[in-house]
Amino acid sequence: MTPTGPDAPLPVALRAEALEQLLTERGLIDPKVMNGIITNYESNVGPLNGAKVVARAWTDPEYRRRLLDDGTAAIKELGFSGTQGEHIVVVENTATTHNVVVCTLCSCYPWPVLGLPPSWYKDPAYRSRVVAQPRTVLSEMGLDLADDVRIIVRDSTSEVRWLVLPERPAGTEHLSEAELASLVTRDAMVGVAKVEAP
């Protein structure tokens, strides 16, 4: 039961704002620097970048080939590179094969195209269970795959970071690249979800 009344904890947003204000008053952070970091992760680094990569691969067969041959170089063609994006390998989900990504040792993750890893990705339970019981874990996360679909668990490391090229949903042939990108989620690029048609 969540406490209510004057002693109840403040909502997370208010606590974060109060903490930022306190750190600013004490000269420990510069609000301009903080805003720059936030803007960078909202606009320059994150799942929106990965979604653009996926949409390009869905609409441009030559780009798709380059992406699967050398993910890092093809992703860099679209202007996405940097820390945690030095060596990205892209694997494709199909009707018969489903890839899912984990980092069993820590939380290696392709930041330039997916942003910061979600908390569940770093959770020890996910990191151990998805290797031993991938079908069960995916089902618990809302993705039920047919028994005849082969699941491959890709373990990211500091040397290789994996990105999943999800299946393009049926009925999206009329959509533009930008419209397709709006459908792609971070979870689909990690392999714990599928892309749904609008």
Domain interval for residue 19: 12-42
Bigger pLDDT: 176 vs 10: 176
Q: What pLDDT sits at residue 7?
A: 67
Two structure tokens written together for 28: 């420990």
Is there a single domain that holds both residue 146 and residue 182? yes
Q: What pLDDT sits at residue 45?
A: 66
Residue list, annotated binding site for Fe(3+): 103, 106-108
The answer to whether residue 137 is domain-embedded is yes
pLDDT in tens, 90-129: 999 999 999 999 999 987 999 899 988 889 999 999 999 9
Is there a single domain that holds both residue 31 and residue 57? no
**DSSP-derived 3-state class of residue 140:** helix
Residue 158 falls in the annotated catalytic set: no
The answer to whether residue 1 is domain-embedded is no
CA distance 166 to 191: 7
143 sits in which H/E element: none
Q: What pLDDT sits at residue 41?
A: 65
pLDDT in tens, 23-62: 889 988 898 888 887 777 666 667 999 999 999 999 999 9
Residue list, annotated binding site: 103, 106-108
Is there a single domain that holds both residue 79 and residue 34? no
Residue 107 falls in the annotated catalytic set: yes
Is there a single domain that holds both residue 88 and residue 71? yes
Which member of 43, 81, 108, 119 is catalytic?
Answer: 108
Which member of 43, 106, 128, 139 is catalytic?
Answer: 106
Is there a contact between 73 and 85 (Cβ–Cβ < 8 Å)?
Answer: no
Residue 4's pLDDT band (cuts 50, 70, 90): low
Is there a contact between 54 and 73 (Cβ–Cβ < 8 Å)?
Answer: no
Enumerate the H helices of 9-133 as residue ranges.
12-25, 31-39, 47-59, 61-69, 71-77, 111-114, 119-122, 124-132
The answer to whether residue 198 is domain-embedded is no
**DSSP-derived 3-state class of residue 155:** strand
Counting Cβ atoms within 10 Å, is residue 61 exposed (0-12), middle (13-18) or buried (19+)? exposed
CA distances from 190 to 1, 9, 153 (A): 33, 34, 10
- Residue 181 phi, psi (nearest 5): -60, -35
The answer to whether residue 58 is domain-embedded is yes
Could you tell me the pTM of the whole model? 0.80
Is there a single domain that holds both residue 122 and residue 174? yes
